[in-house]
Amino acid sequence: MLTGGACACIHTGGEYESEDLDFLIQSAPSQAKLDEAMASIGFERRDDQYFHKETRFFVEFPAGPLGIGRDLAIKPIRIPVGSKGSRIRALSATDSCRDRLAAFYHWADRQSLRAAVQIALRNRLDIMKIRAWSAREGASEGFTRFLRELETARRRDRM
C-alpha cells in the first residue's frame, strides 16, 4: 500500500513533490525475497532504500502497521495508475491530509502543513473526521491553524 509523501503528491495533482515512494507490505516477505523482487525491476538496495539508475525516486518499505498518529484503523482506497487500468492501494485524500498534518502537529513541519492545505484545496475531505482525529492527537490548535491556512489559500485562489 502506498503511503506518505507520494500520496500527497497524487492528491495535490503534483503541487507537493516527494522523492520517495513508501509502501507498507501487508505480508511479511523475507529481506531476500524483497531484494529479489526489487532487483527484477532494476532496483538496488542501499540500507533500507531501493534505488534505480533511471529515476531520481527511491522506494522504501517502512515497518507497519499502517497508522496516522495513533489511528490504526486506516482504510486504503484504490487509485488508478498508468494507462492500462491498473490500480494501487493508497491513502485516501482525507487520510493523506491527516498524514501530512501529523508531521505538522508532531514536528512543526511547515511544508507538511502546506501539503495538507493543497490536498484540501483539490479534494473533498471529511473535515469532521480530521477535526476529531486532531483533537484525539492533542492538536486542536494545529487544526485551527490548518483551517486558517486553508481559508487564506481559498481567498488567494479566488483572486
Helices (H) then strands (E): counts for the chain: 6, 7
Q: How far apart, in whole angstroms, are the C-alpha atoms of residue 45 and residue 36?
A: 10
pLDDT of 50: 97
Domain that holds residue 128: 2-24+62-158
- Residue 122, all three cell numbers: 483539490
pLDDT of 24: 92
- pLDDT tens for 28-80 read 788 999 999 999 999 999 999 999 999 999 999 998 888 999 999 999 999 98
pLDDT of 92: 98
Q: Which of 102, 91, 88 is nearest to 142 (CA)?
A: 102
* Count of the separate structural domains present in the chain: 1
Residue 99 has a CB neighbour count (10 Å cut-off) of 25
In a domain, 18, yes or no: yes
In a domain, 57, yes or no: no
Mapped onto helix, strand or coil, the DSSP state of residue 66 is coil
In a domain, 54, yes or no: no
- pLDDT tens for 136-150 read 999 999 999 999 999
- What does pTM read for this prediction? 0.91
